[in-house]
Amino acid sequence: MDPVEIDAGGWHLRPPRHDERLSDVPAVLESARDPEILRWRHRPPPTPAAAVLYIEERAAAWALDRAYTWAVCGPTTGEMLGEVAFAHLDLPMGVAEATCWALPRARGRGMISTALSAVLRFGFAPSAVGGLGLARVSYAWAVGNDPSARVAEKCGFAVEGTQRSAWVVDGRRVDCVMAGRLATDR
């Protein structure tokens, strides 16, 4: 599938870019240096070359229908402030895993829950009307990551269980909350 841009109300979602007109390298670098993002998410090394590679890998994954990633941007500046993605995408099975992060200056404004809700609408829409026709999207977060728990609640994910000692946070093993949302959920 060709990359898709999405209008998410006060936010614009587009594939991450690094070209002569626009570069998301500064935002990716900032995310790779932010202690709060690093606490919960894997990030590339904080070098320009690694940030460029990160963006190129997202484009390649999109071209292969393995993952779709959107830069969440301010509507007038086009500046990347966060990211939402369908990772582990399996279109024939109709499943994906939602992931996200937000830069410090964009937190607490409802940006990620608004953007993820728009991506979910696109994902669950039938392919006959331009969506992906997904049946299920999962979402996971480490116990203690309260902002991710709020995103899950706002986006309608139902908690399905806990994986014990599934992630490492602050150098120790922690449980991971597993949630899911179905196309048939309201």
Parse the chain into domains and list their residue ranges. 6-138
Q: Hunting for tokens 């728990």 — which residue is that?
A: 149
**Terminal-to-terminal C-alpha distance of the chain:** 27
Per CATH, domain 6-138 is 3.40.630.30: yes
> How many whole angstroms separate alpha carbon 84 and alpha carbon 113?
10
Q: Are 119 and 98 spatial neighbours (Cβ–Cβ below 8 Å)?
A: yes
Q: What is the pLDDT of residue 65?
A: 97
pLDDT-flagged residues of the chain (< 50): none
Mean of per-residue pLDDT scores for the chain: 96
Q: What is the pLDDT of residue 9?
A: 86
The percentage of the chain sitting over the pLDDT mark of 90, rounded to a whole number, equals 95
Q: What is the pLDDT of residue 89?
A: 98
Q: What is the pLDDT of residue 22?
A: 94
Q: pLDDT of 77-92, one tens digit each?
A: 899 999 999 999 999 9
Q: pLDDT of 98-123, one tens digit each?
A: 999 999 999 999 999 999 999 999 99
This prediction's pTM? 0.95
Q: Which residues contact 92 (CB under 8 A, 6 or more apart)?
A: none
Q: What is the pLDDT of residue 76?
A: 86
Taken in order 28, 65, 72, 20, is the CA torsion positive or negative?
A: positive
